[in-house]
Chain A
Amino acid sequence: MSARAAAYRSRWVEPSILPGFNLTLGISVAFLTAIVLIPIAALVLKAGSMPLDELWRIATEPRALASYRLSFGASLIAATLNAVFGFIIAWSLVRYRFPGRRFVDAIIDLPFALPTAVSGIALATVFSPQGWIGRWLEPLGIQVAYSWVGVVVALTLIGLPFVVRSVQPALAEVDATLEDAAESLGAGRFMTFRRVILPTVAPALATGFTLALARAIGEYGSVIFIAGNLPMRTEITPLLIVIKLEQYDYLGAAALGLVMLSISFVLLLTINALNGWRAARALGRRR
């Protein structure tokens, strides 16, 4: 390498005696560009090729608005349910010893590994009015399958591991001496929880919530079987994109795709910021 090249390189990469920087960074950037960046750029360009008012018209037509409402509403409810129940499950796993604890700990990740088509048809069948669970809910007047409730159930299932796996390590790190101190100073159980435990776990809980939300908004496979897919009522945005594609309405699909992509970016940035918050917290605690 010439001296000039070396000087140029040192401006953006710290010198190191380890080899392989050019090779591995080259492979990374090349793959990233070919597999992720160029295809996503194609979507942005396609949507950007139409006039802005046209883009706005497609993105805000009533059927699209109804689909956003369902996708966001159901995802928010599901992520909230996950935050509550995920926290309780994480708490039980970290704080208590009970028969079957290791089994429960192991199956938490199952929604990660289970193909969405499988969980989709399983939930649709179990929660249908004749299904194993649905038949008990039917007399109570609760219809899960083919309604927005079913969408929430499916999104809750796929989001569950995110909250549990984020909160678990944070709960394990809560300093027991702080809790004892709070209790010995007269704080009740609820106060100890609110003032000592919750602040420590909050960043992890927020990360888990956001991860579950991000996953839920984009989810397709596990929802379409249980949702019923009625336009304006139980049609999620990803499904509307698929329908537009099947009608060869590529511009319409690209417009809705751009909306969803923007939301993904915002959530990705939120997750990054939350990770930063968590890291800052962790450093602060250690000092």
Chain B
Amino acid sequence: MIAAAQGVRADAANDAGSRVVRIALIGISLLFLTLILIVPVIAVLGHAFADGLDVYLAAITSPETLSAVRLTLTTAAIVVPINTVFGVAAAWAIAKFDFRGKHLLVTLIDLPFSVSPVIAGLVFVLLFGAQGRLGPWLDAHDISIVFAFPGIVLATLLVTFPYVARELIPVMQMQGREAEEAAISLGANGWTTFFRVTLPSIRWALLYGIILCNARAMGEFGAVAVVSGHIRGLTTTMPLHVEILYNEYDLTGAFAVASLLMLLALLTMIAKTTIEHYGLTRRRRLPHIPRGPKRNDPGISA
């Protein structure tokens, strides 16, 4: 009986103790996030509207800002479809077939994730720049890639290369090959199988990959800064325009353009949360889509 009473007392002490730990850990988490993430994000809005709405509107509708917006949108409109086609193709080859060198291919696709954005820009300057390998030939044919629009597109392509593939590969590996094999044996051709069988089950992952790819393409700074040459109104994307305004001590202008980019980030986050929520509930409602990795499938290692 004494032992039981002690046990109860120990449990009570334990509960009080775990309450303190719990409050302390949640407090540390919230404080850390507030200092390093929430305050800076609020500061962007605070500084953008510091001089009132008129100044803000003037800053985001100035001709230079508008041309930066146009360049950023055009770049994303070229880069995102290309990387989507690549991502779907790579995921199909990797998830639906077993071939030698698959592991190497997956590793190489991930390479741009671990390469510095500055390197991603540098490689194109070295390849196409005036002193580069192809520089003299390009110069002779009056083609400019570096310090021009094509360079910005190439650098952005390299930086955002893995995004769609990375989202699709694990999902398609998890879903196995039986559904597609059934469709093919029943006489469907490859495209029908892809659009009617595969695509419906990967659409959320695909959408998520595209949204992430787009966010990075529109927000990329380092790689684009290296290849753009900062020609105002011509080769300044929105992030580069933020830098120029900031360095000219036009804080309101810099933060006004930054607030547009932050809006993009917030929309990306909302889309992600919605997709995760909606995608998951949908998956639960459709029992024929496998929910988790099959236990003995060695293909799932990522």
A271 touching B114, Cβ below 8 Å? yes
Per-residue interface assignment for chain B, residues 258 to 288, with 1 indicating a CB less than 8 Å from any chain A CB and 0 otherwise: 1001101110110011000000000000000
A21 to B125, alpha carbons, bound, how many Å? 34
Contact stretch, chosen from B37-45, B51-59, B136-144, B199-207:
B37-45
Q: Which residues of A sit under 8 angstroms from B26, Cβ to Cβ?
A: 92, 96, 98
The smallest beta-carbon distance between A189 and chain B, in angstroms, is 7
Q: Which residues of B sit under 8 angstroms from A85, Cβ to Cβ?
A: 28-29, 32
A92 partner, pick from B29, B99, B112, B131, beta carbons under 8 A: B29
A18 touching B97, Cβ below 8 Å? yes
Residue B64 at the chain A interface, CB threshold 8 Å: no
A245 partner, pick from B117, B226, B243, beta carbons under 8 A: B226
Per-residue interface assignment for chain A, residues 213 to 232, with 1 indicating a CB less than 8 Å from any chain B CB and 0 otherwise: 01101111100010000000
Not counting A39-B154, A89-B32, A110-B265, a sample of 16 additional A-B residue pairs whose C-beta atoms are within 8 angstroms of each other reads A16-B177, A18-B190, A36-B158, A39-B123, A43-B119, A96-B26, A100-B30, A113-B219, A126-B39, A126-B43, A156-B36, A221-B239, A238-B116, A245-B122, A264-B114, A267-B114
Q: Which residues of B sit under 8 angstroms from A254, Cβ to Cβ?
A: 122, 126
Q: Which residues of B sit under 8 angstroms from A267, Cβ to Cβ?
A: 114
Residue B255 at the chain A interface, CB threshold 8 Å: yes
The smallest beta-carbon distance between A244 and chain B, in angstroms, is 9
A121 touching B242, Cβ below 8 Å? yes
Q: Which residues of A sit under 8 angstroms from B266, Cβ to Cβ?
A: 110, 113
Contact stretch, chosen from A22-30, A53-61, A174-182, A196-204:
A22-30
A260 touching B119, Cβ below 8 Å? yes
The smallest beta-carbon distance between A124 and chain B, in angstroms, is 8
Residue B157 at the chain A interface, CB threshold 8 Å: yes
B30 partner, pick from A42, A104, A116, beta carbons under 8 A: A104
| A239, A241, A279, most chain B CB atoms within 10 A | A241
A160 touching B36, Cβ below 8 Å? yes
Residue A107 at the chain B interface, CB threshold 8 Å: yes
Residue B80 at the chain A interface, CB threshold 8 Å: no
A36 touching B177, Cβ below 8 Å? no
Q: Which residues of A sit under 8 angstroms from B94, Cβ to Cβ?
A: 28
A275 touching B301, Cβ below 8 Å? yes
Residue B90 at the chain A interface, CB threshold 8 Å: yes
Chain B residue total in the interface (Cβ 8 A): 107
Q: Which residues of A sit under 8 angstroms from B22, Cβ to Cβ?
A: 95-96
A220 to B224, alpha carbons, bound, how many Å? 11
Per-residue interface assignment for chain B, residues 201 to 236, with 1 indicating a CB less than 8 Å from any chain A CB and 0 otherwise: 000000000001001001111100110000000000
A25 to B193, alpha carbons, bound, how many Å? 18
7 contacts between A and B (CB under 8 A): A20-B96, A40-B111, A96-B25, A106-B273, A109-B272, A114-B262, A126-B43
Per-residue interface assignment for chain A, residues 39 to 57, with 1 indicating a CB less than 8 Å from any chain B CB and 0 otherwise: 1101101100000000000
Q: Which residues of B sit under 8 angstroms from A25, Cβ to Cβ?
A: 89, 93, 97, 99
Per-residue interface assignment for chain A, residues 112 to 152, with 1 indicating a CB less than 8 Å from any chain B CB and 0 otherwise: 11111111111101100001110000000000000000000
The 5 A-B residue pairs with the shortest CB-CB distance in the complex, in nearest-first order: A218-B116, A115-B219, A221-B221, A220-B222, A39-B123
Q: Which residues of B sit under 8 angstroms from A31, Cβ to Cβ?
A: 82, 86, 89-90, 161
Residue A284 at the chain B interface, CB threshold 8 Å: no
A221 to B121, alpha carbons, bound, how many Å? 13
B100 touching A12, Cβ below 8 Å? yes
Residue A77 at the chain B interface, CB threshold 8 Å: no
B112 partner, pick from A36, A93, A220, A275, beta carbons under 8 A: A36
A250 touching B242, Cβ below 8 Å? no
Known A25-B99, A92-B25: A123·B40 in contact at CB below 8 Å: yes
Q: Which residues of A sit under 8 angstroms from B302, Cβ to Cβ?
A: 275
Residue B189 at the chain A interface, CB threshold 8 Å: yes
| B122, B154, B158, B215, most chain A CB atoms within 10 A | B122
B295 touching A12, Cβ below 8 Å? no
Q: Which residues of A sit under 8 angstroms from B43, Cβ to Cβ?
A: 122, 125-126, 131-132
Chain B residues 88 to 116 lying within 8 A of chain A, measured CB to CB, are: 88-90, 92-94, 96-101, 105, 107-116
The smallest beta-carbon distance between A134 and chain B, in angstroms, is 11
A238 to B116, alpha carbons, bound, how many Å? 8
